[in-house]
Structure 1
């Protein structure tokens, strides 16, 4: 469980930065997370992003860059548009070091000398299925992802210069390109980082400065694939420095090379993709359902409290997006996703209500077939029929008013007026 340790550690021009503990490492000391938001410690109807550094103890550059990132955002809020966009529209979490024990020992593994990026459950092979056998740092990340509905994330590594995306392994352990269902979206996210970097996209080893993990070298038990499969979280593995242990004097340059990449990757959660909320027609309440995209074998869950969803997709294409929930009729809409984000809110109708509607319509149709020549005035002449007709009219009118109310609430709850909006209902 994520524990809020410090309700207010810093106050910067109207927003809060909090420190959280997500668990403990081998030696029992907390793993600290920096939370940056205009409402830290609260769940909001906006996407959440996490950065993790120092997964490997001998790759410390990431921890330094993440501390610099937190400071930069705090210092530039209300001064820089990108910093303000991140603070006000994304719930950002930063874990500077996942492996502080390995860092202090200057080695890859943790205090138990276990490689934490091989310690997660694997989709192809039965690795680490026993919860008690996993390292405490691994369990902390897994519990963190279950507690917080992250839309995307990235871990920072060293030893190369490339943005790596799933899948990380193959079914037969051979090395070749092995795409996940959201391959196009992951390529877009990886390019977002690479092309914003000083020279990552100019790589002669990796085309565009990006690579599919299995095409580079397969690994198993990795954190990246686990996040996507079990957390619905789109995670990249970022190799940000060819030198694992550069001189301290080189850190300012490495920071400047990566700063815009780190910011643009977080901002992409707001600037593109399909976002919205799911509501029930009968009560107008948030409905935590699922969102599917035709042709992509991967579902995205809406949050439990606000039923907001954030579906990352590569821009420049037409998508058919469907919302569904148990006991409700699915609704679909077609969206052309350009460079800007699209808001698509869904109002789902209970199957029970649909069934009642079919029964009433069936009765009406049968009556019309048998008595096609009966005038409307005769219908009101029959007392029972008149009552039925009046009740039906009232129900239809109430449904109309409810739809207007739901749509009115949706318009007030839109996070960004610049997004194109679609409401899918009855």
Structure 2
């Protein structure tokens, strides 16, 4: 999304080639990954910036799009809403931002990564806060902080050197090669927070090289540094639990709220148009509350195992019971305007009611889904 931070583009094109090569050669790792995961890759979100970029290591032009806008400051910001700041209408946002927002509304994305350069660290939400300037330098933690820390460490420790945390002269040090975004520096209007808050898609910002525009001769070694980490990160799409929510007549229902106790998300996680839900969770015992109009609140406690090694998250469906009352209380509305929209045409690869895949995405952008079977 920053046109002068070019390594991500090269790595994603190489990743495509590696995935296809492994699948054609019937290599076990590729067959397991691609038969269980739907992967979307957007190698370049800011082609105009890339065209304008020169080859300076740190200070090349091309960060902004053709209109001179930083795309990673152009998304709706939940914290701006909480502070009652005026936000742009969607039609006033940059075309690239609108395209990504529209894309997120047509797929049930679960895990994603946004690739950058100029540092070597895995950064996770939140990037912003409503606590004011007195809290700069302190972390802004999300309800899923444990999951984000796990995801960030998966990348940093599978990377050749990111986990060391001190390789770039002008950034860091970063313990374990990871950082909370706001703890590093405040960022308003970022894609990482938008994806998490509004799209139910857990996203990391991956800073992959000290130099924003590495020399061509360095690219093979940079690919080797990141190859294992990219593949390990994709495999994390199989964390947690997945399934469907069914109403009292046995039909899958959209827009049912699926909450995990102790995780008060700004916008509650809801089922998609096929009644499917997915929660990325590290192994443990969790209590779920499922709400849908006209039905009793369902509370169930589940023991969630580690799924990535088996290329499948735990599968569990929720069966709701109708209530007799003629009037039903409305579902609680979260703090920011969540504007849920169920799109009948997106979210899975077939017309069947079951997920065909869980979706992951890399952007510069990559986004993922995993099979429900």
Residue 63 in structure 1 maps to residue 32 in structure 2: no
* Partner residue in 1 for 2:369: none
Q: Is the 8 A contact 1:319 1:336 kept in 2?
A: yes
* Partner residue in 1 for 2:109: 150
User: In structure 1, how many angstroms separate the alpha carbons of the residues matched to 2:108 and 2:356?
Assistant: 19
Residue 232 in structure 1 maps to residue 179 in structure 2: no
> Residues 72, 335 of structure 1: CA spacing in aligned structure 2 closer, same or farther, 3 A cutoff?
same
Q: Is the 8 A contact 1:163 1:236 kept in 2?
A: yes
User: In structure 2, how many angstroms separate the alpha carbons of the residues matched to 1:326 and 1:56?
Assistant: 43
2:65 to 102, 110, 117: 110
* Partner residue in 2 for 1:47: none
Q: Is the 8 A contact 2:115 2:206 kept in 1?
A: yes
* Partner residue in 2 for 1:287: 253
- TM-score normalized by structure 1? 0.67
Give the paired residue count.
302
2:323 to 347, 351, 356: 351
Residue 325 in structure 1 maps to residue 292 in structure 2: yes
Q: Is the 8 A contact 1:102 1:108 kept in 2?
A: yes
1:44-59 residue pairs with structure 2 within 5 A?
Answer: 55-59=1-5
> Residues 354, 72 of structure 1: CA spacing in aligned structure 2 closer, same or farther, 3 A cutoff?
farther
Kindly report structure 1 stretches of 4+ aligned residues shifted beyond 4 Å.
Answer: 412-416
Give 1 or 2: higher helix fraction: 1
User: In structure 1, how many angstroms separate the alpha carbons of the residues matched to 2:4 and 2:183?
Assistant: 24
User: In structure 1, how many angstroms separate the alpha carbons of the residues matched to 2:226 and 2:355?
Assistant: 34
- Tell me by how many angstroms 1:150 deviates: 0.6
Greater relative contact order (Cα < 8 A, sep 6+): 2
Q: Is the 8 A contact 1:127 1:221 kept in 2?
A: no
* Partner residue in 2 for 1:300: 269
Q: Is the 8 A contact 1:120 1:128 kept in 2?
A: no
Give 1 or 2: higher strand fraction: 1
Q: Is the 8 A contact 2:7 2:116 kept in 1?
A: yes
Q: Which has the larger radius of gyration?
A: 1
> Residues 80, 169 of structure 1: CA spacing in aligned structure 2 closer, same or farther, 3 A cutoff?
same
Residue 274 in structure 1 maps to residue 236 in structure 2: no
> Residues 354, 266 of structure 1: CA spacing in aligned structure 2 closer, same or farther, 3 A cutoff?
farther
1:253 to 221, 230, 237: 221
* Partner residue in 2 for 1:203: 165
Q: Is the 8 A contact 2:126 2:193 kept in 1?
A: yes
User: Which consecutive residues of structure 1, in runs of 5 or more, have no partner in the other structure?
Assistant: 1-54, 356-411, 417-426
User: In structure 1, how many angstroms separate the alpha carbons of the residues matched to 2:220 and 2:229?
Assistant: 15
Post-superposition CA distance 1:46-73 (Å, at most 9, x none): xxxxxxxxx1011011011111111111
> Residues 62, 101 of structure 1: CA spacing in aligned structure 2 closer, same or farther, 3 A cutoff?
same
* Partner residue in 1 for 2:122: 163
- Tell me by how many angstroms 1:337 deviates: 2.5
User: In structure 1, how many angstroms separate the alpha carbons of the residues matched to 2:124 and 2:356?
Assistant: 31
Q: RMSD across aligned C-alpha pairs, in angstroms?
A: 2.2
User: In structure 1, how many angstroms separate the alpha carbons of the residues matched to 2:236 and 2:355?
Assistant: 21
* Partner residue in 2 for 1:90: 37
